[in-house]
Structure formats: C-alpha cells, structure tokens
A and B are shown apart, each in its own frame.
Chain A
C-alpha cells in the first residue's frame, strides 16, 4: 500500500511544479469587539485550513477529497483567487497570484450560467471577456468548437432554464475550457446531478481530459469519481484546521473505463485506503458535532 502513497510534500518549490500552494492557512476571524460581547453575539475565530502545502505538476489530474466541511472548497476558492488566504501563497508557474484570473478556469457546482444568455452567448461572453481582440468569426469558431466538444451541438440557442442539470454543467465545462486556461478548477461539479447523469458526465470529463490533458483540480467527495479521473488524490483531514493527510498516486493506465476500472492492479487497495481514511474522519466529525451539541445544551 505504501508504494502508492507519498509523504506530505514540503514547501520546497519544485522547478517543474505548475501550481504551488505554500503554507496556506485560512482563518475566519470572529467578532470579539465590546459591542458583540455586550450583546452576546461574539464568535470565536475559525481556522478552516492550516498550513497547506501542495505542488501540482503540469498535465496532472488531481482530486481533493475529504470529509464534509473540511475546507476543500475554501482551498479551491483560494487557488481560484476568489478568496484570500490568511497566510501563505499560491503561485502559478512560480508567480504568486493575487486575485482571480483567466489562467484558471472554474467550473461551479451550481453551474453559474447566466440565465439571460443562451448556451452560445454564455460561452461567447467568456471568450469576449478574456480575449477581446479576437475577431468575431474566430470567437464564434472557438465557441462552436467547445460546444461540439461537450456534445451540445443543436442546443446552442437554448437558455439555461430549458436545459437539464447535466446539460447545464456541460455548458459550464465548455465555458471554462473555451478561455483556454492553464488550470481547470472544478468544485464538486457533479454534486447536484443524479447518479446516472453523474456517471455519464464523469465519462465525458475523462474523454475530454484524454484530448486536452490540462491540469485539473477536482473537489469531490466520491471515491469512485476520484479513482476514475485522477492521477493524484489529495486526502484531507477533517476541519477545523484541516490539513493534507496524504497524497495517493493513481497509476492506472489511460484511457480508463468505468466498467473495467476495478480490474486495474491496486484499485481495491487504493479504494480501501480511501474508504478507511474517509470513514475515520467522518466518524470523528460526527462525534465532535454530537459533543458540541451536548456541550451547548448542558
């Protein structure tokens, strides 16, 4: 089992890393001013992430998995630049980021499509915003190419409310890819979909990834999803002060197929290890919640 696990990496910058997360912590400061205390509304500081270090090589598919509330999405938002870390830095190609940018394409759990724009307009809006100097015909060609890539030809002129959840997320994927980002960030992209649609879209993402091989960071709570898609799986501990527990290498050959995935060597060992980790962490989370509830009622 240890052959597939690697130790937590230190902050030492590796020259080949495309994305480096160094000593990132995130604390939400509570209210402790005299007024909040006087009105009994004072809250404690909450440290969501504590000293996260992560190096991601180019063209790798990395999944981040952990118990609910462990700060996975917080970490992704920090990498996306939508949220600022309290300490530490995130660097892309050696340059620290400050804020969001089109070098990172984000796919949101709730799709975040503009309801007043058609499928085509949603994608064109992204392309126009990022590359305003492209000619109109070139923009159209890029948009159409990505609509074809996600299999939405024929639905270009529909509005999001006329699409199913799976189709909406395909638009989300097309929009994120159309701006040609260096890194694709996916925040539980299939979390709101039913199981069959989720499986279908996972297969689509696997197919698209084989074509493009972009660096991807995927937040998920599905072990199967992580094993099907990832080169590396980052397992996080429970919050508060969530850390990286360990990073697993997934050495399966590609292209991968859902039906035959469990025949890959080490599949069962990896799956068992992830299940053990997640069930331990989840149990601890639940127990601490029960204790906290009991304490607040006492």
Chain B
C-alpha cells in the first residue's frame, strides 16, 4: 500500500521495494545463516563437546535420512519413514480413543449443569498431571508397553477436547436455540442439527490442542516404553552417540507436529463458516 503512495508522491519511482513477507523471509535466511555459521565454526574450533557434529556433517546426514525414508534392516535399523509411521499410528490410535471419550462426555457435561459440576473436580485435578506420570500406572494396569503408550496418549488427548467441547456445547448462541424452540424441534434434532454444528469450531480447536500435546508426549512415551517409533529412535541413537541422527529426528518431529497442527487448522476453518472464536 505504502509503495503505491510513494510512487505517486516521490520524484522517482523506487526500484527495489519489498513487502513485509519478503522482508521477513530475508531476515529468516539471515538468522538461519548466522546460526549455521556459528554452529559450523563452533564445531570446527572446538567450542562445544567433542560429541557435537558440525553443521555440514549434520546436514549431510539429514539429507541421507530423508532421501532413504523406507529401509528396514531389522528392529534397530529402520528408515525415518517407518519410524514416523509407527509413531503416527500410535498417536492417531490413542488420540482417537481419547477423543471418543472426550467428545461424548464433553457434550454430556455441556448439556447438563449438574453433570458438569459433578465432573469438574476430576477434570481440574487430572488435567494438570504430566502425561508421563500415567506411564507406570499404565504399565501396572495393562502390563504391555504398546497398550501403555496408547493409554498415555489417550489420557493426554482427553482434557483439551473435553473442556472445549463442554464450552462449545454450553455456549451455543441463545438465538439459535430460540429459533429451534419456536419451530418445535425435538431435543435430538436440536442437538444434532444445531448444538453440535454450533459447537464444532470449539470441538475442533480442542482436538487441535490435543493432537499437539499427543505428538509432544509420544516421543517421551516411546523413549520410556521403548521398542519402536521415532521416540525410541532418538534414544537408540543417543546410545550410539549419533548426535546427527538426533538432530535429524528433532527437525522431523517438529515438521510433522507442524503439519498435524495445520491439518487441524484447515479442519477448523472448514467447520467455522465465518464464526470467530
């Protein structure tokens, strides 16, 4: 906008003008360059511990890992693609179990003030507990590492979705409910055609927070439970003292988390219909 104004009022049109996005991108490249240079120089000049690889070696390794995602040379030597699929399968399964509990329960306590107040102490006390505190309990209950990982992810996924679903269902715009009352809609019809669609943006925003936390937790859970997956890979590579693999895994975990978040962001926009949260 300001560019066009400058063109009109200035003596000469300016040759180079950058918009905010372009400026931000240049600054991003600058920061990235400084970090990489510092890392490379530090590794070569011995500023860090000897374990720390140089930036260039790490980038080479990183490239190797992402250009060979699907190899399988036994349980401790798999491509990053397989590792991710294992972890994603666990996260999605646990997330599905958690959501299958959280959404119906959230609807119930959103509709009933009595139920909401009765359940609230449980939510308030269990919500702040670190998901990893559930791990030993899960092992004790289920005596199976795979089920324990799912159990922890499911417990983690419950709280944000439960709280958001409750809020969405209990804060439906009164005028929508007045319309359905004047039409004489049944309770079921009011719930399925009005309350749930009206609460959908809140439910999805709860799911979005839940999947984010579930993805955070899976790495820790796999480190502790072991066996397979990207979290186990991080721990295994630490035992091999392969820092390049660990940095690779960190970047890939970040990118996958970002993609999951964006996916739910799209879903959120899809159910919002211009409503602002």
Contacts and interface: CB of A to CB of B under 8 A. Distances in A.
Q: Do A and B bind each other?
A: yes
B182 A114 contact: no
Contact of A116 (B179, B181, B182, B197): B197
A81 B176 CA distance: 15
Interface string A252-269: 000000000000000000
Contacts of B194: 114
B171 to A, nearest CB: 14
Given A81-B181, A100-B182, A115-B274, 19 more contacts: A80-B182, A82-B178, A100-B181, A100-B184, A101-B182, A101-B184, A106-B178, A108-B175, A112-B173, A114-B197, A115-B273, A115-B275, A116-B197, A116-B271, A129-B185, A130-B183, A130-B184, A159-B274, A161-B275
A116 B194 CA distance: 9
B23 interface: no
A209 interface: no
B182 A160 contact: no
B274 A161 contact: yes
A125 B274 CA distance: 20
B180 interface: yes
B89 interface: no
Interface in B229-277: 271, 273-275
B85 to A, nearest CB: 34
Interface of A: 80-82, 99-102, 104-106, 108, 110, 112, 114-117, 125-126, 129-130, 159-162, 179
A125 to B, nearest CB: 6
B183 A82 contact: no
B183 A112 contact: no
Nearest to B200: A116
Interface string B189-223: 10001100110100000000000000000000000
A191 to B, nearest CB: 14
How big is chain B's contact interface, by range? 20 to 34
A179 B184 CA distance: 11
A130 B275 CA distance: 27
A118 to B, nearest CB: 10
Nearest to A125: B193
Contact of B182 (A106, A159, A162): A106
Interface of B: 173, 175-176, 178-185, 189, 193-194, 197-198, 200, 271, 273-275
Contacts of B274: 115, 159-162
25 contacts: A81-B181, A81-B182, A99-B181, A100-B181, A100-B182, A102-B183, A102-B184, A106-B178, A106-B179, A106-B182, A108-B175, A110-B175, A112-B175, A114-B194, A115-B274, A116-B273, A125-B183, A126-B183, A129-B180, A130-B183, A130-B184, A159-B273, A160-B274, A161-B275, A179-B183
A4 B181 CA distance: 38
Given A114-B197, A116-B200, A130-B184, A108 B273 contact: no
B273 A161 contact: yes
Nearest to A108: B175
Nearest to A102: B184
Contacts of B184: 100-102, 129-130
Contacts of B273: 115-116, 159-161
Contacts of A81: 181-182
A114 B176 contact: yes
A129 B271 contact: no
A159 B173 CA distance: 17
B216 to A, nearest CB: 31
Contacts of A82: 178, 181-182
A112 B176 contact: yes
A110 B175 CA distance: 8
Nearest to B276: A161
Interface centre among B184, B189, B200, by most A CB within 10 Å?
A: B184
B182 A104 contact: yes
B193 A108 contact: no
A162 to B, nearest CB: 8
Contacts of B197: 114, 116-117
Contacts of B176: 112, 114
Contacts of A114: 176, 179, 193-194, 197-198
A91 B230 CA distance: 70
Q: Which 10 residue pairs are nearest across A and B when measured between Cβ atoms?
A: A161-B274, A112-B175, A115-B273, A129-B183, A116-B197, A100-B182, A100-B181, A129-B185, A106-B182, A116-B273
